[in-house]
Structure 1
Amino acid sequence: MGQFENLSFTIRPIHDVKEFFEVSELEKIIWESDDPVPVAHAVTSVDNGGMIIGAFLDDKIIGFQYSFAGFNGINTYLCSYLLGVHPEYRISGIGEQLKLAQCKEALKIGYDLVTWTYDPLETVNANLNIKKLGGVCSTYIENYYG
């Protein structure tokens, strides 16, 4: 971790609408896109079984994890949709901490399964999901992200 050894950040669930807008702005920075998850959609998702967890350095959001409720016709689960860390703080361990907090929160609110997708060609993401977090890939869907 080197330069991030003394980085002291806080991780907590987000419920404040102002912070939902901050997440939206962070999405634009991370993915260089003007098409983030709509704030109203995120708020509704969180109010109905989803969650957004933020990583904060002082009062500035530097990472987030967004999940929504899923249902496959038989079971409910948490569907992990986005995990992003500000480019200045990548490889700091924040992504892993956000995923661990997601697991803890999911169990606390009653989920016993979290699913997520990832692109196996994105090696940093694959390393986090499979190697570090112990995820199991059981399905491959070609061209999932278009």
Structure 2
Amino acid sequence: MRVSSCPVGETGAVGAVLYGSGMTNEATARTAFAGAQSRAGVTIRTLTDLSELSDARDIFDTVWPSVAGGSQVQANLLRAIVHAGGYASVAYADEVPVAAAFGFCGRHRGADGAWHDLLHSHMAAVLDGFRDRHVGTALKLHQRLWALEQSIPVITWTFDPLVRRNSRLNLLKLGVEVRGYEVDFYGNMDDALNSGDPSDRLFAWWVVGSDRAEQAAHGGLLPLSDLEIESDDRRFVVELPDDIVALRSSDPEAAYRWRLLVRDRLTSAFDEGSVIIGTDSTGNYVLERHRP
């Protein structure tokens, strides 16, 4: 079930044009990516070689180990996706693979009835020892540059609404729009991080050439202060748990209660026309009510 967070049309929830072709050139995106890659201390490469694609597979399996002992995605499937025009990359720190991402090309039907190309980023992962070092941001900005080079205007993906790291990365560092809440989107998942928990996801819509994406890439999107939130009666906060991943292990029942609470608050807010406009200083969602 999808609950939309913004009206149907050619303008997104926070005012960005939905497709945004021609707003950002490749040179500025390349500059933003180069800076992010340098800060993260990694080298990111797109992949075509089967052995390197195996590096990506190993990272996914390390971050999301399967309860049954299988693989999240096989290298031969990644090879087929890349061969068909999709995206795969690995971030290397001194030639050691530490992060990976892959996505496949798709289409979206716009309000005008026409089909528009997009890249759906299905998986992106950073090894534990390299988190909170800007590697994830660099990986996504590499993906953004790749999409611009391929004349693909939009990248989409889903992310767990309970993970604060997700909210900060997607809303502030990338400048995505949240365009829906998907209840139990993937059904039961058998990896050790998600097993036993409903796979609710927010749907991210990233117009890679938009002013908002460019502003985010250069650090221009900041958390909203308490004053900015409290001074506008349309704005309100949906709180998140401090560390949902740890809570799932230590207290699964409490984690499940958080899932239902945030699901109820966000779906109800979206039904009423509210949209996510950013985060507060701790990574909680800040929403704004629609005013007729």
Q: TM-score, normalised by structure 1?
A: 0.90
Partner secondary structure for residue 140 of structure 1: strand
- Change in 2 beyond 3 A, CA 1:138/1:62: same
Q: How many residues are matched?
A: 142
Task: Indicate which of 70, 81, 91 corresponds to 2:106.
Answer: 70
In the other structure, the counterpart of 1:29 is: 62
Partner secondary structure for residue 98 of structure 2: strand
Distance 1:50 1:30 in 2: 22
Distance 2:127 2:85 in 1: 26
Over residues 39-87 of structure 1, what are the superposed CA-to-partner deviations in whole Å (9 max), with x where a residue is unaligned? Answer: 1211111111211111101221100111111123512210011110011
In the other structure, the counterpart of 2:88 is: 52
Query: Cα offset for 1:8?
Result: 2.6
In the other structure, the counterpart of 1:101 is: 142
Partner secondary structure for residue 66 of structure 1: strand
Query: Cα offset for 1:126?
Result: 2.0
- Segment drifting more, 92-101 vs 16-25: 16-25
Partner secondary structure for residue 137 of structure 1: strand
In the other structure, the counterpart of 2:50 is: 17
> Quick check: 1:42 aligned with 2:74?
no
Distance 2:161 2:172 in 1: 12
Task: Choose between structure 1 and 2 for higher RCO, CA contacts under 8 A separated by at least 6 residues.
Answer: 2
In the other structure, the counterpart of 1:140 is: 181
In the other structure, the counterpart of 2:122 is: 81
Partner secondary structure for residue 105 of structure 2: strand
- Change in 2 beyond 3 A, CA 1:125/1:6: closer
Query: Cα offset for 1:135?
Result: 0.5
Partner secondary structure for residue 129 of structure 1: helix
- Segment drifting more, 99-108 vs 44-53: 44-53
Over residues 91-132 of structure 1, what are the superposed CA-to-partner deviations in whole Å (9 max), with x where a residue is unaligned? Answer: 110000000010001110121111111111111112211122
- Segment drifting more, 29-38 vs 119-128: 29-38
Q: Percent identity?
A: 29
When Rg is computed on C-alpha atoms for both structures, the one with the higher figure is 2
- Segment drifting more, 32-41 vs 102-111: 32-41
Runs of 5+ in structure 1 lacking a partner?
Answer: none
Name the amino acid aligned to 2:133.
S
Q: Does the CA-based 8 Å contact 2:61-2:72 persist in structure 1?
A: yes
